[in-house]
Amino acid sequence: MIRYQPAKLWTALAGWYGSGLPVELNGEDAATLAGEFGQAVVHRVNLKAGRVRPTSSIDVAAGRSSGRKSRVPGNCREMLRT
């Protein structure tokens, strides 16, 4: 994670990459797996390679400190995920 804060404004950038875990199929076909786990889950698996498809995420945040001293931080931030 990279964070830059020159004054009251701040920005942060973080990212990660997942190469995909191996999947043990035991001979099931895509239709059987879709019936058991749902099409959205089966779509994330490369059945020929026997691995979950790689994923990545980039997180961007920005905010402004309020400058007031309080027990609750006065930051506002927006997270974007891809």
Domain boundaries, the chain: 1-18+55-82, 20-53
What pLDDT is attached to residue 71? 53
Would the pTM count as exceeding 0.85? no
What do you get for the CA distance between the two ends of the chain, in Å? 16
What pLDDT is attached to residue 77? 47
pLDDT of residue 80 exceeding 60: no
Is there a contact between 76 and 61 (Cβ–Cβ < 8 Å)?
no
Alpha helices by DSSP H, 4-66:
30-37, 39-43
pLDDT of residue 78 exceeding 60: no
**What pLDDT, in 10s, does the model give residues 27-55?**
888 899 899 989 998 899 888 888 999 99
**What pLDDT, in 10s, does the model give residues 1-36?**
677 667 778 888 999 999 888 988 888 888 998 999
Query: Which residues, listed in sequence order, are joined to residue 66 by a DSSP beta bridge?
Result: none
